[in-house]
Amino acid sequence: MTTTGTLTVREMGVRARRAARVLRSLPTARKASALHAVARELRAREADILAANARDVAAAEGAGLPAHMVARLRLDAPSLAAIASDVEAVARLPDPVGETTPEEVRPTGIRVSRRRVPLGVLGVIYESRPNVTVDVSALALMSGNAAILRGGKETVNSNAALEAAIRAALEAEGLPGDAIQVIRDPARERMLELLRLDDLVDAIIPRGGAGLHRYCVENATVPVIVGGIGVVHIYLDESFTRDPADVERAVAIIRNAKVQKPSACNALDTLLIHEGALPALPAIARNLTLHGVTLRADPPALATLQGAGVQAELATDADYGTEFLALTASIRTVSGLGEALDFIAAHGNHTDVILTRDSAQAERFVQDVDSAAVMVNASPRFNDGGQLGLGAEVAISTQKLHARGPMGLRELTTTKWVVVGEGQVRE
C-alpha cells in the first residue's frame, strides 16, 4: 500500500487524476460497497484513530488553541461511530451520476441529451474538523470524484489515521487508494501548490474562516467554490410573541440556534427583535445565559434586559456582522420587517430565519432575503446536508455559481452534452 506522506502535491494530483478516471465509470453498487467498507474500517481502527486524535487535542491545548477550536477537533467513540454511520447513509443516497435528460431530436436529425458526470478531482482545504476528512471522502467517492484534502496543522495525526483507514478500505475493494489523499505537510506552500494545480484539479472547496476563503480566492488558478462563512440572523416578529406557547417556541428555537453547536457555521450570531416583541426578550435571554451565552445588546434591548435582571453587555458596531462561532450573540432592536430586511441585506448571506405568525411577512422575508438558506419558524441549524436530505456535505456554498447551500452528491457533479447522429455533417 502506498502512502501520500512523501509525495509532492503535483505527484498527488497525477495519482488523483488517474484514480478519478476509474471512479467516474463505477456503477452505483460498487461505490456503495466501497463506502460500507470504509465504515467498517473506521470502526475496526477506532483505537488507532482516537489515539491519533488525542495527540492532536493535547498539542492544540498545549498551544493555547481557543476552546471552540479544540471542540471542533476532538473525536470520541460516539462521534467516530456517528461518522461511520454517516458514511453508510451516503452509500444509501440516490446516485446522480449517469442521469440523462430526455433526448431531443434537432432539425438536422441529431439526437441531443445531457448526462450528469463527476467534476473529477476536488481539492478541499479545511481547518480543525477531522470529521470533514471522512465526510468529503464519502461524498467524493459516491459522486465518482477523487479528492486531495488539506486539513489544518492541528489535525495532522487525526487525518493521517483517517486517511489510512479509507485507503485500506478502498484497496481491499480493488479500487485505487489514491482516490483519497491527504496532504500531511502543514506548510502553507503545499496549500499554495494545490491552489495552482489547475491542470490536474477541477475545483477547490475551502471550509474555514474568512481569511482562508480570501487566501484561496486571491491565490488560486483552480476555480474556487466559496462558502461556509457568514452571519446567521433570526428575526423575531411581534406576532410570534402574543401567545405564551409561541414565546416558549421562540425560546427553544433560539436556544437551539445558539447553544446546540455554537462552533458551527449555521449557529445564531444576531437576534433581530421587533420593538413590539421586547417584552418576550427576558425569557429568551435568561434561557441563553443559563447555557453560558454572553449577550451584547443595543440600548433598547439592554434596557429591557437590565430591567428584568438579565445580564448583558452593551453592543458595539463590531458585534453586528460578526460570525462568533462561540457562546456569544448580539441583539438588535428593529422597528419592523423592513428594517430587519435592510439589516440582513447588509450583513447576511448564509442562513436567515424569521419567526412569525403573519404569512404575508413570512413570504416577503423568503422572497427578499438573498441568502443560501432562508427559514420560517425553524432553527438555522437545519441548514445542513444531512438535515436537508443530502447526506453529509462538503461545505455550505454561499456563492451563486454552480452550487448554493449545502453541497452534497449532486453539487459535486456537472453535465456533459451527448450527441448521437447517423452521419450528419453541418452545412
Give residue 191's identity as a one-letter amino acid code.
Answer: M
Could you tell me if 262 and 366 lie in one domain?
A: yes
The SS3 assignment for 382 reads helix
Strand positions, DSSP E, 221-298:
231-236, 270-274, 294-297
Question: Quick one: the chain helix, strand, coil %, rounded to 5?
Answer: 45, 20, 35
CATH number at residue 327: 3.40.309.10
Residue 314 CA neighbour count, 13 Å, CB half: 2
pLDDT of residue 5: 63
* Measured distance CA(262)–CA(142) in Å, rounded: 30
Could you tell me if 100 and 164 lie in one domain?
A: yes
Long-range contacts of 311-316 (CB under 8 A, 24+ apart): 312/285
1 part of a folded domain: no
- Domain count for the chain, please give it: 2
* Measured distance CA(88)–CA(38) in Å, rounded: 9
335 part of a folded domain: yes
Long-range contacts of 57-63 (CB under 8 A, 24+ apart): 59/154, 60/154, 63/154
The SS3 assignment for 422 reads coil
Q: Which three cell numbers mark 187?
A: 506548510
DSSP 5: T
CATH number at residue 55: 3.40.605.10
Q: Are 268 and 393 in contact (CB under 8 A)?
A: no
Could you tell me if 215 and 246 lie in one domain?
A: no
Q: Which three cell numbers mark 339?
A: 428594517
Total residue length of the chain? 427
395 part of a folded domain: no
Buried b (16+ CB within 10 A) or exposed e, 341-370: bebbeebbbbbbbbbbeeeebbebbeebbe
pLDDT of residue 4: 57
Going by C-alpha positions, the residue among 243, 43, 192, 240 that lies closest to residue 254 is 240
Q: Which three cell numbers mark 144?
A: 465518482
Q: Are 177 and 153 in contact (CB under 8 A)?
A: no
Q: What is the pTM of this model?
A: 0.81
Q: Count other Cβ atoms within 10 Å, centred on residue 419.
A: 11
Give residue 113's identity as a one-letter amino acid code.
Answer: S
DSSP 420: E
CA angle 139, 43, 40 (to 5 degrees): 60
Helices (H), ranges, 24-76: 28-44, 46-62, 67-73
* Measured distance CA(22)–CA(87) in Å, rounded: 20
Could you tell me if 18 and 115 lie in one domain?
A: yes
* Measured distance CA(381)–CA(136) in Å, rounded: 20
Per-residue tens of pLDDT for the chain, all 427 residues: 445 568 999 999 999 999 999 999 999 999 999 999 999 999 999 999 999 999 999 999 999 988 878 888 999 999 999 999 999 999 999 999 999 999 999 999 999 999 999 999 999 998 778 998 999 999 999 999 999 999 989 999 999 999 999 999 999 999 999 999 999 998 999 999 999 999 999 999 998 777 888 899 999 999 998 776 789 999 999 999 999 999 999 999 999 999 999 988 899 999 999 999 999 999 999 999 999 999 999 999 999 999 999 999 999 999 999 999 899 999 999 999 999 999 999 998 899 999 999 999 999 999 999 988 999 999 999 998 878 877 677 878 877 777 888 888 889 999 999 999 998 888 8
The SS3 assignment for 375 reads strand
Could you tell me if 124 and 252 lie in one domain?
A: no
Could you tell me if 166 and 298 lie in one domain?
A: no
Could you tell me if 267 and 373 lie in one domain?
A: yes
255 part of a folded domain: yes
Could you tell me if 128 and 145 lie in one domain?
A: yes
4 part of a folded domain: no
pLDDT of residue 2: 47
* Measured distance CA(122)–CA(197) in Å, rounded: 11
Q: Are 353 and 235 in contact (CB under 8 A)?
A: yes
392 part of a folded domain: no
| Secondary structure of 95-158 as H, E, C letters | CCCCCECCCEECCCCCEEEEEEEECCEEEEEECCCHHHHHHHHHHHHHCCCEEEEECCHHHHHH
Could you tell me if 190 and 255 lie in one domain?
A: no
145 part of a folded domain: yes
Structural domain including 326 reads 231-382
Could you tell me if 55 and 145 lie in one domain?
A: yes
Q: Are 168 and 41 in contact (CB under 8 A)?
A: yes
Backbone angles phi, psi at 272, to 5 degrees: -100, 125
Could you tell me if 184 and 241 lie in one domain?
A: no
34 part of a folded domain: yes
The SS3 assignment for 166 reads helix
At which residue does the C-alpha cell 494545480 appear? 197
Could you tell me if 200 and 248 lie in one domain?
A: no
Q: Which three cell numbers mark 348?
A: 447576511
